[in-house]
């Protein structure tokens, strides 16, 4: 699976790493795993590191599907703060589209290019 996460209870943080080729199914599988994880509280924050993506098989419509899935599972998937780190171009455009959609269900989302800045915004150490 090209998306893995770990929950860090000291920071109430879900740290997500994405690498390789990813598609809609990978994102939905990841979200379903998070939604089913009993260790994750509803008041978490998320650092979503997508810099390792080498091929993104995702459309604008797929991003809308991801947002709808998130909206349908608010207590587990929607973060108090979601920092998405991208490396540019298509990745950033799609992340920014998710940011726009997330505003409609009150998920405070920002897109970053720099992990240190993203961690500072989340209020966590940059070595998580």
- How far is 85 from 115, CA to CA, in rounded Å? 6
Closest CA to 77 of 111, 105, 42, 124: 42
* 9-55 confidence digits (pLDDT tens): 999 999 999 999 999 999 999 999 999 999 999 999 999 999 999 99
pLDDT by residue (tens digit) across 52-78?
A: 999 999 999 999 999 999 999 888 899
Report if residue 127 sits inside a domain: no
CB 64 within 8 A of CB 32: no
Q: How many other C-beta atoms are found inside a 10 Å radius of the C-beta of residue 94? A: 21
In a domain, 128, yes or no: no
Residue 74 lies in a domain: yes
Number of domain units in the chain: 1
Q: Within a domain: residue 89?
A: yes
**Which run of H or E residues covers position 10?**
none
7 domain-assigned: yes
53: containing domain: 3-122
Q: What is the pLDDT of residue 126?
A: 87
CATH number at residue 78: 3.30.750.24
pTM of the shown model: 0.95
**CA–CA separation, 21 and 61 (whole Å):** 18
List 14's β-bridge partners, or say none.
7, 46
Let me know if residue 34 belongs to a domain: yes
The answer to the question of residue 75 being in a domain is yes
> What integer pLDDT is reported at residue 1 of this predicted model?
66
Q: Is residue 29 part of a domain?
A: yes
């Amino acid at each position: 699976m090209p998306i893995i996460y770990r929950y860090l209870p000291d920071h109430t943080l879900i740290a997500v790493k994405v690498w390789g080729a990813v598609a809609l199914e990978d994102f939905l599988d990841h979200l379903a795993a998070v939604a089913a994880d009993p260790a994750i509280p509803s008041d978490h924050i998320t650092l979503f590191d997508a810099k390792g993506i080498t091929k993104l098989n995702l459309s604008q419509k797929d991003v809308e599907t991801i947002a709808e899935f998130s909206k349908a599972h608010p207590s587990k998937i929607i973060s108090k703060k979601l920092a998405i780190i991208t490396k540019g171009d298509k990745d950033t455009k799609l992340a920014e589209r998710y940011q726009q959609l997330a505003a409609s269900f009150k998920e405070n989302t920002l897109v970053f290019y720099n992990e240190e800045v993203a961690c500072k915004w989340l209020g966590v150490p940059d070595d998580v």
